[in-house]
Amino acid sequence: MLLDVAGVAASLIMIFASAELFTNGVEWLGARLNVGRHVVGSIMAAIGTALPESMIAVVGILVGTARSKEVGVGATLGAPFVLSTLAFMVTGLAVLGYSRRRKGGTRLDIDCSTLKRDMRSFMSMYALALAAAFIPFRGARIAISLALVAGYALYLRANLSETGLPQEQLKPLHLTRVFGSLRRNIAAQRPSDNDPPPTVHILLQFSISLAIIVGAAHYFVHAAQAVALQLGMSAVVFSMIVAPIMTELPEKANSVVWVRQGKDTLALGNITGAMVFQSSLIPALGISLTPWALREHSSALLSMGIALFNSLVVLLSSRRVKPDADDRTTVSAWFMVGPGLLYFVWLVEALWTR
């Protein structure tokens, strides 16, 4: 068990260390592709870091056995629930922790359109996924699955219409600085930090950092699962509690990095974009390929209700900066921390009724 605990700690360190490389690389990749920060935070970073936990759900659903499908459904529901509770809390605590060095203090300064688009997309699609649990007709559930896929396609289309990130606001690419230092040692010269990095450097840093995050997260899951089993936790409890926490939460170190840098739109978009992804494509798979009998699990229904409620709280807590501001809004960090507390209320109920 000590080796498993050491594996959990080592993988966490790897994830957090690679988070800085990933955020730096994904910003430059977005700038090079001339896409907006909505795309960088809500799509590229969100989907990239959602891969490990999504694969748990997909594999569980596709394996075919009844037990594996239950694990897959549990992972499917656990991801958006953890994002809308603990991930919000971690980001809010980061804002409070860095409040003295931040211009906005204890409030996140974000694009109003990003928050509204993500929260409304999540709530509408996740409400459909919840409604599917009460529909006994397979044909109707298939229709809902197709609607969720179409909804995410529309979400992508809306985000891809945004403009690009200003390159002068970006930190120099870490990999280019390393190569520049090597070149300086060899040829006594290196490119200026103000020069745009080569595309190959951007792709290499992005790929390396993403590979480390995905690989470390998978190892994290295996090590944490071994610890959970030795502690006597059931597979269902693991899939709904341990797996999402072990995969979603560590990877949201990206949001902490962006909060520290004052890039609040990217920080919150990394979470809300993952929520949209996890409420659409993955549930669509579960609804179409499993019985989706959530009515038999009170903890599952409660988690979905809390996720929807928390999203509404964050959306309603937003406040316009100024009437003439460039579509900016602020959200208090305390309204990010508060929803996280409901996770522990749910946890007590889940452990009590398991």
Q: What is the mean pLDDT of the segment spanning 17-31?
A: 73
Hey, what amino acid is at 290? T
Contact (CB, 8 A) for 239 and 210: no
Kindly report, residue by residue over 193-210, the tens digit of the pLDDT: 556 778 888 888 888 887
N residues, the chain: 354
Q: What pLDDT is stored for residue 233 in this prediction?
A: 62
Average pLDDT of the residues of the chain: 78
Instruction: Output the pLDDT for position 119.
Output: 92
Higher pLDDT, 46 or 136: 136
Q: Where are the domains of the chain?
A: 2-162+175-353
CB half-sphere exposure, 118, CA atoms < 13 A: 31
Are the C-beta atoms of residues 33 and 18 closer than 8 Å to each other?
Answer: no
Sequence-distant (≥ 6) Cβ neighbours of residue 275 within 8 angstroms: 80, 83, 84, 118, 122, 307, 311
Q: How much of the chain, in percent, has pLDDT values that exceed 90?
A: 19
Residue pLDDT, tens place only, 322-341: 545 566 788 888 988 988 89
Q: What is the mean pLDDT of residues 4-19?
A: 72
Q: Going by CATH, does the domain composed of 2-162+175-353 fall within 1.20.1420.30?
A: yes
- For the cut 50, the answer to whether the pLDDT of residue 213 exceeds it is yes
Per residue in 128-150, pLDDT tens?
999 999 998 889 999 999 999 99
Strongest mean pLDDT among 55-59, 62-66, 287-291, 349-353? 287-291
Q: Which residue has the higher pLDDT, 149 or 290?
A: 149
Position 191 scores a pLDDT of 47
pLDDT at 187 over 50: no
Is pTM, for the whole model, over 0.75? no
